[in-house]
Chains A and B, each alone.
Chain A
Amino acid sequence: MGLQTFMQHLANGISLGSLYALIAIGYTMVYGILRLINFAHGDIFMMAAYLAFFGMTIFSMPWYVAFIMVIVVTVILGILIEKAAYRPLRDAPTSSVLISAIGVSFLLENLATFLFSGKPRAFPTFETMTYSLDMQGVSVQVLTIIVPIVTLIILFILLFVINRTKLGMAMRAVSKDYEIAKVMGIKINNIIAYTFAIGSALAAIGAFLWGMKYPQVSPLMGVMPGLKCFIAAVIGGIGNIKGAVLGGFILGLAEVLLVAFFGQLTGYRDAIAFILLIIILLVRPTGLLGEKTAEKV
């Protein structure tokens, strides 16, 4: 393999990794606050992709209008799901909340199959995005460069919000100690709603970019990215936003590069994430950037 092909794969890996990172942040934030694997997150991502698809095809919106619409509607969807399916179970055992999350995920998938049919549909493509830049013999699509840039900008905004604003402080407090945060007068339900809003917004942005990169939408498109991105969050250290981004990049690069180097693994591409999960759980269960915590007895 020449250096140029390698660079090309590298760029693809980083680009895919950024998309994973965007979705993984949503998982890690919700887990940090509620200790819940939000199984529905991947399906929120899928719904966002459909919204973008319908917005731009049937309603022929310009992309920037569609972009705003998708974010707004997805955020509303995320908050509604939290209100309807998770909030009533706040004092229930974790298994009940997990089952509820699975129920929502299953419902969204079935609803999408029912409403939009199971057939995959072509996502509209943009000339400017798929235009190939020639960089010293390495041809890279504009999109491949834009995706990581968008991700990094979002990461910096998010870190600013978490570390420098009152909302972020409240979020950190809730994720550190739920009970004490409650006693301190933090409106837990609002904080949780904000968390879901942020996670859903990122999933919406991710879905938009994903649709442009892999121009196809289908009801089950969120399942695999969803599972993988949760794993990315675990690899980076669950509850840690920088960790989620790091995990996303590692996973994206691992998938693209392993398949590039070992062609015979192509069929097993989706298994890589799970093998990484097992390895990280064996070697460093708290994830790369996670802290060790002790349970109070």
Chain B
Amino acid sequence: MSNVLKLDDVVMRFGGVVAVNNLSLEVNKGSIVALIGPNGAGKTTAFNVITGVYMPTSGKVSFEGKDITKEQPHKIAKLGIARTFQNIRLFKKLTVMDNVLIAKHLHLKSGLFGTALHMPWAVKEEKKMREEAEALLEKVGLTAVKNEMASSLPYGQQRHLEIARALATSPQLLLLDEPAAGMNPQETMELTHFIKEIKDEFNITILMIEHHMDLVMEISDDIYVLDFGQLIAHGTPEQIQRNEKVIQAYLGVEEDA
């Protein structure tokens, strides 16, 4: 199997703090990979390095064999990596439909003036964009609220919208940052199915950060465990569940008891 994303010895240092230390990982095409670890382990920092928000202090990030270490976030999005955020970052005061349409802007072919002046070819493209957006909203079950303001949606729907928005960029790799955060077991179960569904439906690869272990163990093909910026384990769900280091990291080592 070929890998989509590859990190080689990535180090991310902020002043004196090493947030990510020598992280190497591979994400295979068509798989679901989970990045887990206690809070502050450097998972979101790793996401930010991959998506170009931070430039790593050293190391290399490759996407489909191409070095993207120094690319800017919007270029990386164009190349085919989309993401969601830990603390939902929707365009709150815009409609659900607009949120999705904005994510389609990066593939716009008509030029600035054609688009701005609503020239026939641009109108045609806009129509196509809208149809695709409608179809996407239909798939994630948000058609009924497409003209609502994003901030007016309930929490669970906002999470879905954020995933829909990321999918609208037509990515090959989707990064989900704690998609189940704040969800109850019922909602988490639905999300588990949803993630599987979109993976097959859109033929994408998924890398996710998640704390809900049920979800992680059920759908991951591969798991990486981070602790204090360091990779402490890597393996299949079964291997990780039995790993001593992982259990220690999660339960904490009692030092002076």
A and B touch in the complex (CB under 8 A): yes
**Chain B stretch 44-94: residues in CB contact (< 8 A) with chain A:** 44, 48, 53-54, 85
The residues of B with any CB-CB pair to A shorter than 8 Å are: 14, 44, 48, 53-54, 85
Contact residues in B for A294 (Cβ distance below 8 Å): 14, 54
Residues of A close to B85: CB separation below 8 A = 297
Q: How far is the CB of A295 from chain B (nearest CB, A)?
A: 9
Please report the C-alpha to C-alpha distance between residue A294 and residue B54 in the assembled complex, in whole angstroms. Answer: 8
**Contact sample, A vs B, 6 pairs, CB 8 Å cutoff:** A294-B14, A294-B54, A297-B44, A297-B48, A297-B53, A297-B85
Neighbouring A residues of B48 by C-beta, 8 Å: 297
A-side contacts of B44, CB under 8 Å: 297
Bound complex: CA A297 to CA B48 (Å): 8
Measured CA separation A294–B48 after assembly (Å) = 11
In the complex, which residues of chain A have a beta carbon less than 8 angstroms from the beta carbon of B14?
A: 294
A177 to chain B, nearest CB (A): 14
User: In this complex, what residue of A is CB-closest to B19?
Assistant: A294
Query: Which chain A residues in 263-297 approach chain B with CB under 8 Å?
Result: 294, 297
Chain B residues within 8 Å of A297, by CB? 44, 48, 53, 85
Once the chains are docked, how many angstroms separate the CA of A6 from the CA of B20? 54
Residue of A nearest to B14 (CB): A294
Q: Return B208 CB to nearest CB of chain A, in Å.
A: 16
Residue on B nearest A295 in the bound complex, by CB? B53
Contacts of B54 in A (CB 8 A): 294
Q: How many Å lie between the Cα of A297 and that of B88 in the bound state?
A: 11
Quick one: closest A residue to B89, CB to CB? Answer: A297
Interchain CA distance A57-B54 in the complex, whole Å: 59
A297 and B49 CA atoms in complex are apart in Å by 11
In the complex, the 6 A-B pairs of residues with the closest C-beta atoms, listed nearest first? A297-B53, A297-B48, A294-B14, A294-B54, A297-B85, A297-B44
Cα A7 to Cα B85 in complex, Å, equals 59
- List residues 210-236 of chain A with CB under 8 A from any CB of chain B: none
* Assembled-state Cα–Cα distance A157/B193 (Å): 64
Bound-state Cα–Cα, A49 to B169, Å = 58
Question: A99 to nearest B CB, angstroms?
Answer: 19
What is the CB-to-nearest-CB distance from B155 to chain A, in angstroms, rounded to a whole number? 20
How many Å from the CB of A15 to the closest CB on chain B?
Answer: 38
Interchain nearest-CB distance for A279 vs B (Å): 24
Complex Cα spacing A297 to B44, Å: 8
CB nearest neighbor in A for B53? A297
CA–CA, A297 and B43, complex, Å: 12
- Minimal beta-carbon separation of A260 from chain B (angstroms): 42
- Rounded to whole Å, the gap between the CB of A94 and the closest CB of chain B is 16
Closest chain-A Cβ to B56's Cβ sits at a distance in Å of: 12
Alpha-carbon distance between A297 and B53 when the two chains are bound, in angstroms: 8
Complex Cα gap A297–B84 (Å): 11
Whole-angstrom distance between the Cβ of B189 and the nearest chain A Cβ: 29
